[in-house]
Amino acid sequence: MLSNKMSVDCQIIIQRANGGVFRPGEPVIGKVKYVINKPTKFKTIDINFLGKAKCAWSVPGPEKTTIEYFNEEEYVNDNINIFKSKHGQEDLLSGTFEYPYEFELPANIPSTIKFNLLCKIEYKVIVVFVLKSFWASVKKFSEEFPVYGFVSPCSPEPLIFSLQKKVISLKDISTVDVKAEIEKTFLAPGEDIILKLTINNDTDVPVTIKTELVEYCTCIANDKTNKVFTSPLTYTKSTRSVEKKSSSVITCIVPILLKWCSIQNSKILKGEFKVRVTAKLPFPYTNAFVEAPVVIGEMMTNHIEASKAVTDWNPSLSNTTTLC
């Protein structure tokens, strides 16, 4: 990223990670190049390595007021000082400079996420120039990089759950029974969720069974107030028709795009996925649905084993201690 603000130009270079994303415990390596266009007095020049989460939202309050909710959390905040003025000396800097840096990501940190403008987790390298002046003017340059945090399973495999919808008519009470089985509840991005459904429609009306993946983002304010944002992923939706007074067994495929993953290891932001099965009935009957949780991401042990397998197989990497 190059900026031409005032008398300083700065470029932050981040060495590309293995697979394009950084993982907990891995180093972030790069260098900072900056040009001071004219002799300038600086108090300090620092490289800051910052990972933090922020959430904020508002709701209507009494008498046309607004209630604001906010919270933030830091996962890493490291600093390298590359210049500090000495007392009693005139430090006029000008010219072109280059400074290498290396930081290490902590273990057990969450993935990057931007659910909306006010709920996000981000990691950045920031260069801060502080002028030696009465007002102590500050110039900042930053470059963001993606982090893919490790996650853990939350449900048994296979997972069996069910849905029963009662239909009341003038003649009797009949039911729609749906038994669902998810073979795997811990999945990698790009994998398909295999959903087996056994449906018994004992009613006199046709039923449509809809399956889809739903994303839940839970934000937790500093007063422990929760706000849940729900987003059905339309690309995962599929429907099947079940005739009246019939039974059927069907297999549904719920695809997962590569970019999606669960968010764990954060106290203020939680990202979850649930497979939703809905029994849709014609008017005047109401629909019914049931959800089952799944985790999308990568376990640390699986990543270590995969990295080791690549190193053992590829002679060019066999003597390399860092894969990124």
Using DSSP bridges, classify how beta strands 186-187 and 288-296 pair: parallel, antiparallel or unpaired: parallel
As a whole number of angstroms, the distance between CA 68 and CA 49 comes to 29
Q: Give the residues across from 49 on adjacent strands.
A: 78, 125
How far is CA 130 from each of CA 40, 42, 134, rounded to the nearest angstrom? 11, 6, 11
As a whole number of angstroms, the distance between CA 119 and CA 217 comes to 9
Q: pLDDT class for 7, splitting at 50, 70, 90?
A: confident
The DSSP code sequence of 186-245 is: EE-TTPEEEEEEEEEE-SSS-EEEEEEEEEEEEEE-TT--EEEEEEEEEEEEEEEEE-TT
Tens of pLDDT along 59-70? 999 988 999 999
The answer to whether the pTM exceeds 0.75 is yes
As a whole number of angstroms, the distance between CA 259 and CA 148 comes to 10
Spell out the domains of the chain, with CATH numbers in brackets: 2-145 (2.60.40.640), 159-301 (2.60.40.640)
As a whole number of angstroms, the distance between CA 179 and CA 197 comes to 6
Mean pLDDT for 48-67 is 93
Q: What is the dihedral of CA 161, 165, 166, 168, to 10 degrees?
A: 180
CA-closest candidate to residue 13, choices 128, 101, 85, 130: 101
Mean pLDDT for 155-159 is 92
As a whole number of angstroms, the distance between CA 58 and CA 32 comes to 39
Mean pLDDT for 104-131 is 91
Tens of pLDDT along 295-316? 999 998 765 544 554 344 444 3
**Residue 93, pLDDT score:** 83
Tens of pLDDT along 169-221? 777 889 999 999 999 999 998 899 999 999 999 999 999 999 999 999 999 99
| Structural tokens at position 75 | 């996962």
| Structural tokens at position 166 | 């009662």
